[in-house]
Structure 1
Amino acid sequence: MPSAPDFPLLCPVCRSSLRPGADGARTLVCGAGHSFDAAKQGYFNFLVGKGTAFEADTAEMVAARFDFLSAGHYRPLAEAVAELAAPALAGAGEGRPAVLDAGTGTGHYLRALLDRFAPGRLGSNSTESERVEGGGVRPERSGPETVPLAAIGLDISKFALRRAARMNPEALNVVGDVWQPLPVADNAVDAVTVIFAPRNAPEFARVLRPGGRLVVVTPRPGHLAEIAVQTGMLGIEPAKDERLAASLGGHFAPVVARDLDLALALGPRDVTRLAFMGPAGHHLDPSALAALEAALPPSTSVSARFRISVFAPTA
């Protein structure tokens, strides 16, 4: 677990700086005496005050996401996000580059970015199961990004953070509400990544340094269309690009966008995992999904269609 100086955190109660407590990295304290202890799984819970209106993912939804992503189906997406975020991080100047992964979930996407900047860690062709449980000699990776990142993974679900803290022990993993003021100092990070998660534009702009970048992943029309109806998944909102631009307007300007299409061949279990791991998982009946899984063919062709958009702060 990294120490607080690796990442300039703010107290979620009084907004003053947090620092390690008497027992080191497992406790964070502020000058006003507010104290936060790490859970035994390695994350901090910064949810304070009134409850959030955002519904956190359940343990079952998180488990489905972890298993699906660990199979590597979305690994090309994780690599593409890391590639587009890397220039802002590599150009951070003196000091350690820093990234905030807002809505980090199980930490798989942040893992790809951490690996890109970590000499001696696993390369891009390794699976997440090898990272979590593998032993032996870990292969070196090559590439120009050799300065380790300071990283924070933030998510509303404590169940997701339990997984993320194990996936990314070198990051600060925090349970927090993205719609509240972020527990991060002004001008503290070089990149903010948001993969299928809510976007708090004013707060993202506040925490980004000059020259920083916001990287956002959204689904495109036709995403998972082959299985959406039969599994009860939510459809893609109309005019999603326009809605994204409007939600960031006044704080960010578009820089570049890249479309990524993945042709997936999924077994029955991964089809139902894919349905259950997203927002529809809050409403789906597990017994109905189990019945669907039993009726599916051995392999189902599914098209995953993503847009990765990069934005620059306007102020």
Structure 2
Amino acid sequence: MSIQRRERSAALLRPYIHMLHCPLCHHELAAVNADSVLCTANHTFDYARQGYINVLTRPFNGRYDKRLFAAKREVWSRTGLYAPLVAVLREQLTEHALRQREPIHVLDAGAGEGSLLQQVTQHLPAVGWGMDIAKEGIAMASSAYDSQIWMVGDLACSPFADQRLDAVINILSPSNYEEFMRILQPGGRLIKVVPRKLYLTELRERLHSGRIERSNPEHLSLERFKEHFKLTSRIPLTYTLQVDEAVRAALVHMTPLSWHSSDDQLQQASHTLSQITIDVEIWTGAK
């Protein structure tokens, strides 16, 4: 099965090898075989048995583990909690695809376990690229979704050549606007989702009660976005849904909110959480 995954991934990447360059020397990637990708200076990047390519140029030891990504998979793909957000993102990409050549190339920067990229590009004329610095998430993504190209990589040293992508989606994760500008084509789109004050408020109340949270003023983040991209739309999205017992534990463990909570707090939240609020804003910017 692992050989089949690697061969599948190589076949998927081969027509689009021109999209990438070597993250070490920035030479062209010249060859794709069933085991690895090579650049013209002979730097080699191997396929993992799950089918992804690791193009990290430095070690990464983060706290994002399998439990967090499994919880995210449970919430993103097996509940309708984020369906309204997925619908907005798909609409934004569809509008862009209608004005561009087909297929459009879409990068999910911070793809995690891959469910979001799979959902927003489904039935679109699009090639989906998923990249995350956390190997555990990308391993899950490439094991589950075989229509996208998955990479473990760092936005600070990404493998994309200049001006190759039609769109970047950046969902509830850090941005590198300079890099997004470099890899997007002229007229390309950045679609960024940022949390607002009420995002997962019921969970924060249970896990961070009495704790002072760091402020991240939305207007400052928006100004930084506008320094690099022309803001073409700004869509607020707020709703509250009931959650059943089956999904409560997954909600508790799907975010870093759980990292600094005691086992008692986590268990209490799992038992008492009855609803959850999604409160985000979607910014679309043109290069």
Q: TM-score range by the shorter chain?
A: 0.7 to 0.9
Indicate whether 1:217 and 2:202 are aligned. no
Question: How far apart, CA to CA, are the structure 1 residues paired with 2:53 and 2:221?
Answer: 30
Structure 1 segment 230-241 matched on structure 2, within 5 A: 230-232=206-208, 238=215, 240-241=217-218
Structure 1 segment 108-257 matched on structure 2, within 5 A: 108-117=115-124, 147=125, 149-178=126-155, 180-232=156-208, 238=215, 240-257=217-234
Question: How far apart, CA to CA, are the structure 1 residues paired with 2:148 and 2:176?
Answer: 21
Change (3 A) 1:226 1:44: same
The structural deviation recorded for 1:237 is 5.8
Q: Give the letter for the 2:231 counterpart.
A: P
Q: Identify the range of structure 1 (12-21 vs 254-263) with the bigger mean alpha-carbon deviation.
A: 12-21
Partner of 2:104: 97
Q: Identify the range of structure 1 (208-217 vs 7-16) with the bigger mean alpha-carbon deviation.
A: 7-16
Partner of 1:61: 68
Question: How far apart, CA to CA, are the structure 1 residues paired with 2:214 and 2:167?
Answer: 26
Report SS of the residue matched to 2:279.
strand
Count of residues in Structure 1 that have an aligned counterpart in Structure 2: 274
Q: Give the letter for the 2:26 counterpart.
A: R
Question: How far apart, CA to CA, are the structure 2 residues paired with 1:310 and 1:231?
Answer: 32
Match of 2:39 among 22, 30, 38: 30
Question: How far apart, CA to CA, are the structure 2 residues paired with 1:219 and 1:311?
Answer: 17
Q: Give the letter for the 2:165 counterpart.
A: V
Match of 1:265 among 210, 228, 242: 242
Question: How far apart, CA to CA, are the structure 1 residues paired with 2:136 and 2:166?
Answer: 27
Q: Alpha carbon RMSD of aligned pairs, Å?
A: 2.3
The structural deviation recorded for 1:282 is 3.2
Uncovered stretches (5+) of structure 1, i.e. residues with no partner: 118-146
Match of 1:46 among 47, 51, 55: 55
Note if contact 2:71-2:251 (Cα within 8 Å) is conserved in structure 1: yes
Uncovered stretches (5+) of structure 2, i.e. residues with no partner: 1-8
Match of 1:310 among 272, 284, 287: 284
Question: How far apart, CA to CA, are the structure 1 residues paired with 2:55 and 2:278?
Answer: 34
CA displacement, residues 138-191 of structure 1 (integer Å, 9 cap, x when unaligned): xxxxxxxxx3x222100011111012113431221111122x122101111110
The structural deviation recorded for 1:194 is 0.4
Partner of 2:27: 16
CA displacement, residues 226-265 of structure 1 (integer Å, 9 cap, x when unaligned): 2312123898764632232233343212110111223211
Q: Give the letter for the 1:217 counterpart.
A: V
CA displacement, residues 199-241 of structure 1 (integer Å, 9 cap, x when unaligned): 0000001111111110001111222222312123898764632
Question: How far apart, CA to CA, are the structure 2 residues paired with 1:90 and 1:18?
Answer: 30
Larger helix fraction of residues: 2
Question: How far apart, CA to CA, are the structure 1 residues paired with 2:261 and 2:143?
Answer: 28
The structural deviation recorded for 1:44 is 1.0
Give the TM-score normalised by structure 1: 0.79
Note if contact 1:10-1:18 (Cα within 8 Å) is conserved in structure 2: yes
The structural deviation recorded for 1:307 is 0.8
Change (3 A) 1:181 1:235: farther
Indicate whether 1:6 and 2:16 are aligned. yes
Partner of 1:75: 83
Q: Identity over aligned residues, as a percent?
A: 27
CA displacement, residues 91-125 of structure 1 (integer Å, 9 cap, x when unaligned): 223x53101110011111111222131xxxxxxxx
Report SS of the residue matched to 2:199.
coil
Note if contact 1:228-1:235 (Cα within 8 Å) is conserved in structure 2: no
Q: Give the letter for the 1:281 counterpart.
A: S
Change (3 A) 1:106 1:263: same
Question: How far apart, CA to CA, are the structure 2 residues paired with 1:189 and 1:43?
Answer: 19
